[in-house]
Every structure is written in C-alpha cells, then in structure tokens.
Structure 1
C-alpha cells in the first residue's frame, strides 16, 4: 500500500477513535487519499460522510454538525483556493467556540513555491483563528501521526486546557494518490482507544465580589452557561442563549424604559450582541458590571470596558420589590406588545417570529439567521423551554446559514426548522444542493422574503434623510423567484401567509422552504409604534 493511502487511512482511523462520527468532504485530486479513506469508513459504518461541491458550504455544514452535536467534525478539501474558502466557517467556529477540524490536502513541500498548479502556502493559512495548526510530513512514523490527530482534536474540543474552536491539519500527499496494492494501515491501540487519551481540563473560579442583596440583572448572550434557569433575579436572555427559556420575554423592550427597572449591578453571561439597549446599560457608569467566567475558557465580553470582575455567580437574594417590579412590567409590556402585533399592519418579521416560535412542535430545533430573524425572535416571541435554539453569533454573518441549519438538523433527533431572511438564503444557495446519495435532513426553512435587506431600515442609514441612496446600496432589492430557485435545486417550496403558517410547519420529511412574504417599507415606522405602545403601558405601571 502506498504511503499516501496508508497515511490517509491512519488519520481517518484515529479521528474515529477520538469520537468523530460525521465528516464532510469536497471533491478534489490532491485529497483523493482522504476521499477514499473517508468513503471506506462510511461504508463500514464507522462514520457518516457528507459530500459537497462547494467548500464554503461544506465548512458551514461541518460547523452546524459540530454546533449541535458538540463533537469535533472534520471538513476535508483539496489544495489551493479550496482551503481558503473555509475561512468564513473557521472564523465563526473560532469566535463561537465550535470544534471544527480542517483537513487540507497539500502538495509535497518541495513543490511549494515552484509555480506548480493549484498550490499556495497552506501552512498557517488561518493564522491565529485556529487553536492549533499542524503541518504534517509525508507518511511519517505511524505513532507520531496518530498523536498529531489526538493533539488536534484535544485543541479543538478544549480538552487540552484552552477554549474550544477550529484546528487545522495540513496533509501533504505525494503520488500515487489512489489505492494500489491491498493492505491495512498500521493498527492503532487494540482496545479501539485513541493513541493518546486527553483528560479534559477542569476549570474552577471563585465567586464574584458583588452584593447579593442589591437589585441585580443578568444579561445572557450567546454561549451563556446552562445553569441560569432558576435565578431569583430577572434575566434578559438572547434566543441562542441557554438561559432564554428563563428570560424575561419583553426584556429588550424594558431596558432603559423606566428608572424603576434600572439595576444597581449587572452580571454578563456569554456574549450579548443583539440589542443596543444592552450595550447602553453596560456602558452606564452608575451601574456595576461583572461577568461570569466562561466554563469553556472563552474570553469574556466587555465592549464598554466596564467589567469590574470575572468569576462565578454566588447565591443572590435581592429584595422582593425588585423582582416584583420586573414581573409586573413584563406582564404589562407583553400584553401591550401582543395587542400591537395582532394588527396586520405591524412589522411582518416580528409577527412571523411570534407565530413561528409558538407553533413549533415540542422538541423542535430552530436555527435563527443573523440580521433581523434572531432579533425578531428576541423582540416578539415568548421563550419556550422545550425548543433548542441555535444561531451563528460568533461573528454574526449571514453567510453559510442554510448549510449550518442543514448540519444542525442532521445532528438533531427531532423536527428541525430555520428562520432566515431572503438575502441569507441567496447568500448560501449552494447549501440547497445535495447529491442523490447524501444524507438528507428533515428540515423546514422558513424564509421571510421582503425583497432585500430589511435590517438597514432600522439603522442610521435608514433615516429618511438618506432615502436617495438607501434602496440601492443598503436595501439591495432583488427579483429572485424563490420557488424557481427551489425547483432548480430539488427543494420543496411552500408559499404561506401567517394565518396558515401552523399548517405549513407540520413536521414533514425532507428539505423544504416555506416562503412568507412581507413589506419592509414601513419597518422603521412599525418598530417605532411598538416602542411607543410599550412605553405607554409602562408609564401607567410606574
């Protein structure tokens, strides 16, 4: 058996021993040894293989699989620009702490820099965004090669002591690149264990030096720990936070709405990124801000430079009047919000978010697109403890969301859904391209189609003073026929209005798009009316 085939089989075998159950592959010539090895492992039932033609799509597919399963997922490419196309997914994995493994195939070192086709400097391509980068030799000692794989997985999962995230193994392969003589790769440990078992590092931190009796508010963002569900203080949680089921439904609306709701101290958990009202609170010099130490070792969030201490959360016992004020305010604001959203003229995205979350079956998974969808859910939907909500909030881009949702659906045991905008769908249309032999998810992608970029209408550039330039350079209108796009990729398409949304969301096999149309022209005014409705009722409460 030639050295390239031997090395590839050894790497794949060790990955399986390290707990890898899914792998993503893009076709190419230089990665042929890994392609054959992954195909053989799939045929033997040792892992599940997913093949994609577009490397960017493949990277986010692997990201979604890892995000939902918590297990490391490798994505394998050939040499050249194929590797560079993984960079967006690598960045998201780095800032979100997702164990993504990049297996890039390369030409032999003595060919680099000679002008050989499809050859770039791949070693160190991802810079500081990866937790570990290993440039393997050709063939090499089997024990050392297995050890490299174990070290890579430990770095990606955080077992070696650092925060989890992407890791990169660059594998040069010399010809021949296809199997020739029959044979077996050098065997690993007879018990099926990895060459080097890494015991996960334990992290312990002391309690925060806060006043446990002071009026306290917890702000829970993406990556917040799961032990914030039974706190005796109000929690304003983003939908992709594990604390969202216990969050104050109208929390984003209540922040800054009344002096009676202003906390003396705030504890930040995870990475809040959605609401400007949160950022204003954390920058308030009269509010003491603390942050929870991330259990995975990810850095704390402190955009305003206001955090005074990092640690664990001690037992809190604020006065009852503090929690009662927040409960009363939330009840009143929720009633006013729902009354305003019942108006068919209210913003379509907010109405869709409220109805969608309420209609999903118990045990469902929901992936939220960046831009408006994740914010619409945060502003309008009632939190539910029986849903799994995910989002790419590491760098909060719209790229790769379709593929992320497909990967997460393939790793989820239960019905799976996604809520995204039309531009997010168009940005990842190749995510809908699945070969006939590929694992297919049972996934319903709900697309709010408002014919362009709605979120910009809510920002400064959406002010009427900028109307002359807005639509072309920010609204970015399009006339894409989503039904035709779905037909071209073999994806089911269901047009729906809000009254018949529940019927369209009944779990069904396969991949389908539910398209809900909306008008974004009055989005800015619609949000302002909702703000006014909430403020009016709070003025009566306080």
Structure 2
C-alpha cells in the first residue's frame, strides 16, 4: 500500500512531468529539433521530457560553456532554434559567453534552466541563486515559470506567455530567449508514466510583410539608380546559410558596381561574377589609389577589414546605406545616411522582379576596381608558393576544400588572413565565424556544433594556438563529431604584434603575446586525437587531402615562424603599395 507521503511524492513528480511535457510540445511546435543537455539533477523533468519526444534529438555535453557554444553552432548551421538545458546555480552562468554572442549574432537559442521552487529562494539553499531575468538585455525575452503544483492544472495564461517567449527566438531579428523552470522534489518517480503531448496547431509559421518589402525595394532601387560610382559591400552573414547572392550580383551587373565580399558574407565563394572584388583589404592600405565613390551600400554586418572601415569613414561625400535586419543598426564606420531594416535576401529577391534596363551603367568605374583587384591578386598569389606563413595557409585551406564544405574561422588573425589572402574559389564554400562580439572563446565547440547542424558537409576549422588552448575542453567532443582543424602555431597572440603595444618592450610578451608552454601535440594526444605537424605549404596541402579522406577528427598543426610571418605580411602590403602607386608610403 502506498503511504500518504509516497502518494504526494508521486503527485509532485507527475506534475513535474506533465509541465515538462507541455513545455517540450511547445518548443517542438516552434521549430526545435535538437536539444543540448548538460547533466544535472534539478533539470531531470526537462531531460526526460526531451528524451521521450520522437522529434527531438539530444546531444549531451558535460561542460556548460562548451554546450552553449555547441548549440550556437548547431542553430547557426541548421537555421533552426536549438534548446539548451541545465541544472540550477552556476551551470547557467557558464552559458553567458555564448548567449551574448548569440544575441549579437542573431542566432536563435532557447535556454531552459532548472531552478529551485520559490520557498527555497533567498534562504541559502544549495545551488540556489536568483535566476529570474539572469541574462538581462542579452535575451530577446525571459520568463520564469513557477514550480508546478499537483492540485492545480497547467495555467493557460502561463502557456500563452510561454508561446510568446518562444516565438521571440525565431522572430526577426532572431536571438536567444530564456525560460527559467522551477521544480520541487521528487523530480522523478518510476510510478509516473511518461506522456507525449502534441501541440494542436502543428508548427508555427513565419509571415513576411509583403507590402513593406515592396515599398523598401522600390525606395532602394530609386536611390541606387541615382549614382554611377557606387560600391556594394557584403559583410559577415550578409547572405546566411541556404541564401543566394545571385540577385545582388544581377543588380551589380546592371549598375556596373563592384562587389566587395567578405569571406564570411556568403557572397564570395562559389561565385565567378565579373564584379566580385576580394583583395580590397590590401588595396585600401593605399587610400590615394582607391577610386572615389558617390554611394556605398553594405549588406549585413560591419566588415572585418579596418582599412575598409577607414575608407567608408573618409568617404564622407558618398551616400552611406546600411541594409541589415538585426537587433540594432550596425554602422560603426560612420552614421548611416539611409538604413533599411530588412533582410538583404528578401530585399534583393524583390528587386529581381523589377525591370532594370533603364539603369545607366558606368563601365569605366567598374574597370578601375577590377584593375585594383588584378594588381593585388597577382602580388598575393606570388607568395602562396614561397614562404610558409598565415597568408599562404589561408589560401591553401580555401583551394583544397571540396565543393559544399564549411569553413569555420576563428577570430583574431585567422579571419583577417582568410579575408585578406583567401581570395576566391569556384567551390561553394560556407564560412562561419563568431562576429557578434568577435571573441576567441568557444571556437572549437561552435565549429563542432556547426558540423552537427550540417552533418553532410565537410567542416574545416582554422584557428590560432591561443584560441585552441582557450577552448581545449571542447576537444572531448571531437570523438562524436568529425572535423578537421588547422591550428596556426605561432607562439601566442600574434595579432598584438600589429598593434602599437608591440613597442612596449617590458610588457608586450608577458601581458599581450602570452606564449604558452603547453605543447599542442601532447594536448591532442591526451584527448586521443591525431595530430599532424606541418612546416611547409606542400605538407599542408598533403595533410588537408589526407584528413578529408579519414572518418575521424584530426588536427593539422601548422608550425609558423612568428618573425617571418610578421615580415611577410608587411612585405606583401608594401609590394602592393608600390604596384599601385609606384612608391612606398
């Protein structure tokens, strides 16, 4: 016979299960198909409800910081919101770096954090802190759901609030949302039968505002049609995964405008359009060699190249148009003249329906930019077979990736080198990078998540030795997800060598360069991962081809002479300057 206490316990466990099952039904309705779980006790009801739902795939990641960046990668690559769930206390604090990156990158995450019930708050209970609104301004919506009461049905008002919170994750601009879930013990009881709850409405739909899109497209075409010396700039994430830049190139061809496409824009690789310009970073280091524009249009985020940003800022007489449907307008270069809060793809798809034959094209204008591109390209390509440095590594990675591949590139020098020296490729390559806040944290976990989100695409991670060591905990996930990594082993934070602080002889190495005594080869061995050391361009190409043919993850450790690497950067920029102007600066 069941005692009163046991009966009450079973009732509470049942209430926990019913509330969790209803919540999971809601998140599935809002498009979730993957949940990243970090083990804990208080989130037991959520873990079981997620595991029992046939439409949810669970990936267990022990370290919450790795878990959050992994989820970020899955959501970015798949295009669908991803659930993160953890126990109470410090666990959810480890999500914070990835949450702020997801917010600024507009990646949809749904954070389901477990919490103690109200009667244990503020009383020194173990693993208990104030989790209400924990992520502050860095989530689009936040909701705390009280611990379920066995004698009370699920509150329909709570379900309505929950639906609105979840919808915010996928409503443009996308981003993370937080649902904090209270639970009382017992968290589970074997006598409680699990139930599958189906949302009655099927799946949520996103409705575009067609009238607004038409209006903005008309205004945009009217504006750009007034200028014959314009430039299109494609910043990071201008054309996201699965989106096509063809309509933008069609318009650029009609206008005879150059397209300056960042490596991570979605508009560089796999495109062979005449107007494509990829070597602009080197050219903009010689400002007086750059033609003067009367209109500059940027799709997506602010570009990586500071020299491009300086040119935009200096072009004060050019009309500056920013097109991005983000959390805020991104215009650090200078205050925009026109801001169109709309997806570039949506806007340009609408322009494709228009007759553009009346637009006047200035072919001489485009020819000036193509001459710059050819000059820079010739100098850069001469260096690809000479010395072994970060520029030649970036080029080799691009040239040796098969069609349909994904490249995740770390922040700091790797993204700058890929952008400046990676050039173009006929292969359709998707480049991902955490440019929301530009940090190096969580790089390995993010790349592994992107591979999980696009399992059919080969994935290459290009990362510096500092970022690699920073996220070494995530190497444990490499046995479950197959990726190839190229690690630029150059003795620490070499980006600081290009900054004024490098002249501070007393502090530079210890406080900024921070070389590490940890041997990366030995670190890989400790995680049971294959590590191939390369010191030449030919050896790198051979290793890249070899790793692509293998079924498991592997690391290619590119040993770089830091002094040579620095001097080669300077040499390339100087040679281009001479070619463009006939003299040194």
TM-score, scaled to structure 2: 0.85
Gaps of 5+ in 2: 1-12, 341-346
Aligned counterpart in structure 1 of residue 63 of structure 2, from 47, 54, 66 = 54
What does residue 187 of structure 1 align with?
Answer: 197
Structure 1 residues 256 and 264: CA distance shift in structure 2, 3 A: farther
Q: Distance in 2 between matches of 1:81 and 1:189?
A: 33
Residue 186 of structure 1: CA displacement?
A: 7.3
Q: Distance in 1 between matches of 2:378 and 2:206?
A: 50
Residue 60 of structure 1: CA displacement?
A: 0.1
| Correspondence list, 1:412-427, <5 A | 412=454, 413-427=456-470
**What SS does the corresponding residue of 1:392 show, helix, strand or coil?**
coil
Residue 435 of structure 1: CA displacement?
A: 9.3
What does residue 543 of structure 2 align with?
Answer: 504
| Correspondence list, 1:229-244, <5 A | 229-230=249-250, 231-232=252-253, 233-244=257-268
What does residue 65 of structure 1 align with?
Answer: 74
What does residue 33 of structure 2 align with?
Answer: 21
Aligned counterpart in structure 2 of residue 151 of structure 1, from 140, 145, 164 = 164
Report if the CA contact (8 A) 1:254-1:261 is conserved: no
What does residue 229 of structure 2 align with?
Answer: 215
Aligned counterpart in structure 2 of residue 483 of structure 1, from 482, 503, 521 = 521
Q: Distance in 2 between matches of 1:273 and 1:189?
A: 42
Report if the CA contact (8 A) 2:285-2:577 is conserved: no
What does residue 22 of structure 2 align with?
Answer: 10
Q: Distance in 2 between matches of 1:51 and 1:260?
A: 52
Q: Distance in 1 between matches of 2:193 and 2:488?
A: 54
Q: Distance in 2 between matches of 1:351 and 1:305?
A: 33
What does residue 4 of structure 2 align with?
Answer: none
**What SS does the corresponding residue of 1:2 show, helix, strand or coil?**
helix
Report if the CA contact (8 A) 1:90-1:166 is conserved: yes
Structure 1 residues 126 and 473: CA distance shift in structure 2, 3 A: same
| Correspondence list, 1:89-100, <5 A | 89-100=98-109
Kindly name which structure, 1 or 2, has the bigger radius of gyration based on alpha carbons: 2
Q: Distance in 2 between matches of 1:516 and 1:423?
A: 13
Aligned length: 524
What does residue 373 of structure 1 align with?
Answer: 414
Bigger mean CA offset, 492-501 vs 79-88: 492-501
Structure 1 residues 189 and 20: CA distance shift in structure 2, 3 A: closer
**What SS does the corresponding residue of 1:115 show, helix, strand or coil?**
coil
What does residue 497 of structure 2 align with?
Answer: 457
**What SS does the corresponding residue of 2:506 show, helix, strand or coil?**
helix
Higher normalized helix content (fraction of residues): 2
Aligned counterpart in structure 2 of residue 84 of structure 1, from 89, 93, 113 = 93
Q: Distance in 2 between matches of 1:282 and 1:432?
A: 40
| Correspondence list, 1:168-179, <5 A | 168-179=178-189
**What SS does the corresponding residue of 2:411 show, helix, strand or coil?**
coil
Aligned counterpart in structure 1 of residue 376 of structure 2, from 333, 342, 352 = 333
Report if the CA contact (8 A) 2:116-2:182 is conserved: yes
Q: In the alignment, is residue 356 of structure 1 matched against residue 397 of structure 2?
A: yes
Bigger mean CA offset, 484-493 vs 296-305: 296-305
Q: Distance in 1 between matches of 2:161 and 2:265?
A: 34
What does residue 238 of structure 2 align with?
Answer: 224
TM-score, scaled to structure 1: 0.91
Aligned counterpart in structure 2 of residue 407 of structure 1, from 449, 456, 469 = 449
Structure 1 residues 456 and 297: CA distance shift in structure 2, 3 A: closer
What does residue 321 of structure 1 align with?
Answer: 364
| Correspondence list, 1:432-471, <5 A | 432-434=475-477, 440-462=480-502, 465-471=503-509
Bigger mean CA offset, 300-309 vs 391-400: 300-309
Q: Distance in 1 between matches of 2:279 and 2:567?
A: 19
Q: In the alignment, is residue 138 of structure 1 matched against residue 138 of structure 2?
A: no
**What SS does the corresponding residue of 2:495 show, helix, strand or coil?**
helix
